[in-house]
Amino acid sequence: MTSTLGSDADREGSRAAEEGTGHDGAPQPHTIRLELADEPGELLAALEPISENGGNLLSIFHERGNVTPRGRIPVEVDIEATPDRFETIVAALRDAGVNVVQAGAEQYAEELVVVLVGDIVDSDLSDTLQRVEACPSASVADVSVNAPAGRGESASARLRLATRAGGGTEALTTVRELAAEKELHVIEPLAGGGV
C-alpha cells in the first residue's frame, strides 16, 4: 500500500485485508515438529519455507544432543501465521523434503506398541526402522532393544509407533510384512496403543 491518506486504523484495516489477517484469519501461534539430518545447513533450509511463506518465527528448540530412532535431530519451531498461511508453510516444508512430524493440530494422534522377536541384530534393525518410518501413517517414537546373547541369537525390540488417527492398521500391516520377510515374530499390540 503506497497511499499515506487516511487514519492509522484505515491503513491497518486495509493491510489486514491485503494480508488476510482479519478477525477470522488472525495470526495465531503454531508449533511444528521436524526431524532434520545432522548436517550443516539443514536447519536453515527448514526455516526458508517458513520465511518465504509469511511465517513469523517465535522460537526454535533444537535438540542436537537427542537423536530420533532414525538418527535425526528433533527440532521444534514455534511460528505465528494465519491459518491459511500455516497450511501453505507446512505444504512448502514437505515439498522441500523436510520431515514434518507434527504440524499444529495435525499430529500423530494414536500410539501402537509392538515387540519384534528373533535375530533382530542380524536382520538389520536400522533397515527395519527406516522401512517402518517410510509408512506414511506412522513414525517410530521409541525403540528399546534387548539382545542378551549378542549377534546371531534371539533378541527383542520394542517399537512404540506414533500413528495418524486411523493409521494403526496400515502401520501394523507394515510391521507384519517386515517381520515375515525377516523371519521375526510380532507380539502386537501392547497396552498403550491399539488398532
Is there a contact between 32 and 92 (Cβ–Cβ < 8 Å)?
A: no
According to the model, what pLDDT value does residue 191 have? 53
According to the model, what pLDDT value does residue 93 have? 94
The fold of 28-104 is: Alpha-Beta Plaits (3.30.70)
Closest CA to 100 of 34, 163, 167: 34
For the 110-187 domain, the top CATH level (class) is alpha beta
According to the model, what pLDDT value does residue 177 have? 95
According to the model, what pLDDT value does residue 190 have? 61
If you compute the radius of gyration of the chain from its CA atoms, what whole number of angstroms results?
Answer: 22
- pLDDT tens, N- to C-terminus, the chain (195 residues): 333 333 343 334 434 434 444 445 788 888 898 999 989 999 999 999 999 999 999 889 887 777 877 788 889 898 999 989 999 999 999 999 898 888 875 455 677 899 999 998 888 888 888 888 888 778 787 788 888 876 777 899 999 887 877 788 899 999 999 999 999 999 987 655 444
**pTM listed for this prediction:** 0.49
Regarding beta strands 138-146 and 99-103, do their DSSP bridges make them parallel or antiparallel, or are they unpaired?
unpaired
Do the domains at 28-104 and 110-187 have one common CATH topology? yes
Domain ranges of the chain: 28-104, 110-187
